[in-house]
Amino acid sequence: MIKYNLKCDRNHNFEAWFKNSSAFDEQVEKNVVTCAICGSNNVEKALMAPSVPKKGSSRDTTAASVQTNDVQQFETVLKALKELKKNVESNCDYVGTNFAEEARKIHYGETEKRGIYGEASESEKAELIEEGVEIATIPWLPNSDA
Ligand SMILES: [Zn+2]
């Protein structure tokens, strides 16, 4: 698994996981990589930003903080989130509430390096970020085809 910082043509920055770099190229070519914020499929790799632990802030810079009153925009976001969720589900291991523990093991090389997803409390997330473990928070949609 490899994580890329991506940028869309509207300058939204977001992160996405890919099996490997050629999987990324392939998906971009097929236009299936979409912006997590606006759903645009015109995305490219952004420069890797150093991850700076934010003190005293529990809000993530990912799509979780997106707010919009525009219904159409909202639906686009929703669609992008569904895609994102599908992507995560098919490419990452679900570890449930063991997320923090597993993420740490992967970070310190105690277990196989892979993409995982699961649940973590705000304080667990803050701790992981403090330790330099790379994580991303995404709004998780309930299972439904509606
Ligand atoms: Zn965008």
Q: What residues does the ion ligand 1 have nearby, CB within 5 Å?
A: 8, 10, 12, 35, 37-38, 40
Q: How far is the CA of 94 from the centre of ligand 1 (A)?
A: 27
Q: How far is the CA of 37 from the centre of ligand 1 (A)?
A: 5
Which phi and psi (to 5°) does residue 17 adopt?
Answer: -100, 140
> What tokens does 75 get?
């639906």
97-123 per-position pLDDT tens digit:
999 999 999 999 998 888 899 989 989
Q: Give the pTM.
A: 0.46
